[in-house]
Amino acid sequence: MWKVGSIALGVAMLAGVGGAYAQSTTAEVWNYYAAGSELAGMTALIDQANAANPDTKFVSKVIPGNVVEMRRQLQTAFIGNKPPAAYQTSMASELKTFVDGGRLHPLTDVWAKIDGDKIFPEGIQRVAKINGVPYGLPFDLAEINNIFYNKAIFAKLGLTPPTDWDGFVKTCDALRTAGIEPLGDAGGPFWSLYNFYAPLISTVGTDGYYKIARGELAFDSPEFRKALELYRDTEVKCYAKNWSGKSWTQTADDLINGKVGMYGMGVWVAGYMKQAGFKPDTGYDTFPAPGTGDKAIFQMDLFAVPEGTPEMIKAGEEFVTTVASAKAQEAFATNKGSISPSTEVDPSVYDVDFAKFATQLATASKANAVLPNLFFLLPTDVGTELGNQIEKFAIDPSDATEHDVISTLEAARQKAMADNAYTSW
């Protein structure tokens, strides 16, 4: 009888243990941060989520590539009804694509719980919401309107960071006279476009920037033409020889080695240079590109929660709620080398240069001058075309190329308008 009772008791105990395990949920978090500091940041973030939600086990699944490959994998997952609990995405139009398809779960309850309208600047909120409804939780922000410069070269030549376009060109002339290529750039449809934003904003202002994003300011307008010509006469004029054949890391190496004096790139380049032993206190410093001194133009990643089973939606909401916390935002930013989108994170947690970037973001936020990357505000086809055409112009800034660029972009705008593809961000 004792044996029978013991067996029965053992079975009951095992059933209880099994029941406990059955209550635990394993939830995949899809992302494309697979190596280096990006992997360190993602690991820290998922560790935070697991610590805060003991009944759910969050596991990272890396989708090699970037947001484009993520989009493809998600489309396949939706067809098979097996989306992840949460996934990494870009902002604005990238979110809207899946919202329009009914694929994303609104984060209205989460947003209210974390007080999203308070902790995220207005410019960030614009691109985390679709038609006023939050669908993405911001977690990784990088400013793209700063110019890095080699401190030793500037000191040797007696140069100071320029604050306007005339001073910028004079600085370029001084560098070139000294046998140093003035300004680095890299090949690909993004890097020249990011450089172009400063001449664009210098010409059309913040209001014009959003008018372009909404399709209200034509690419064949005098304002846009003037922006192209300012870009040609300043940054394009200063670009190093053979820049289009280089990757962004190769140009960073050129700055480190003193082959170029300046480099307009997103703040992620700081992490690369520090890993190479080129430090902000001795090797490099930054200044805002002319025309953007009081602004922060940013690129940002978010987490979104797909529509799915109640269990997975619950897990996704748990994950993004944790991601919004100051502790999790700090853990990610300090491990990856980026800026938290949340104003709840104290700039003192960063090292010297990222504290500067965080302060820049906070100052711009108070002035309502935090501007999302235009590429993601535009309809996908228009944004892609803008990147391609600006690089084409940067390589060959002739009048004939200018005409072709304007005609091509305006045709893309007209088609997107006809398709009702624009959004009022």
The angle at the Cα of 259, spanning 253 to 260, to the nearest 5 degrees, equals 90
Cβ distance 289 to 256 under 8 Å? no
In this structure, are 150 and 274 located in the same domain?
yes
The 3-class SS string of 169-238 reads: HHHHHHHHHCCCEEEECCCCCCHHHHHHHHHHHHHHHHHHHHHHHHCCCCCCCHHHHHHHHHHHHHHHHH
In this structure, are 322 and 398 located in the same domain?
no
Q: pLDDT for 33-86, tens place per residue?
A: 999 889 999 999 999 999 999 999 999 999 998 888 999 999 999 999 999 999
> Which ranges of 61-182 would DSSP assign to H, the alpha helix?
67-79, 93-100, 108-114, 116-119, 122-128, 151-157, 165-177
- Rounded CA separation 85/186 (Å): 36
In this structure, are 218 and 111 located in the same domain?
no
In this structure, are 103 and 183 located in the same domain?
no
Q: Is residue 19 part of a domain?
A: no
What is the CB neighbour count within 10 angstroms for residue 414?
14
Q: How far is CA 320 from the centre of its chain?
A: 18
Q: pLDDT for 215-225, tens place per residue?
A: 999 999 999 99
Cβ distance 244 to 188 under 8 Å? no
In this structure, are 359 and 377 located in the same domain?
no
pLDDT reported for residue 189: 87
Average of pLDDT values for 134-156? Answer: 98
Question: CA dihedral in degrees (256, 272, 145, 149; nearest 10)?
Answer: -20
Please state the domain count of the chain. Answer: 2
In this structure, are 344 and 390 located in the same domain?
no
Q: Is residue 216 part of a domain?
A: yes
Of 366, 383, 399, the domain-final residue: 366
In this structure, are 185 and 284 located in the same domain?
yes
Of 332, 347, 366, the domain-final residue: 366
Cβ distance 140 to 301 under 8 Å? yes
Average pLDDT over the chain, rounded to whole?
93
Of 396, 9, 423, give the one whose Cα is nearest residue 216: 423
In this structure, are 52 and 102 located in the same domain?
yes
Q: Is residue 12 part of a domain?
A: no
In this structure, are 163 and 256 located in the same domain?
yes
In this structure, are 261 and 386 located in the same domain?
yes
Q: Is residue 16 part of a domain?
A: no
In this model, does residue 10 exceed pLDDT 70?
no
pLDDT reported for residue 20: 38
CATH of the domain at 153: 3.40.190.10
In this model, does residue 420 exceed pLDDT 80?
yes
Q: pLDDT category, 16, cuts 50, 70, 90?
A: very low
Total-model pTM: 0.88
What is the CB neighbour count within 10 angstroms for residue 206?
14
- Rounded CA separation 302/142 (Å): 12
User: Radius of gyration (Cα) for the chain, nearest Å?
Assistant: 24
In this structure, are 267 and 313 located in the same domain?
no
Which domain does 220 fall in, by range? 146-297+372-418
Cβ distance 365 to 121 under 8 Å? yes
| Non-local CB neighbours of 168 within 8 Å, separated by 6+ positions | 162, 234, 235, 238, 290
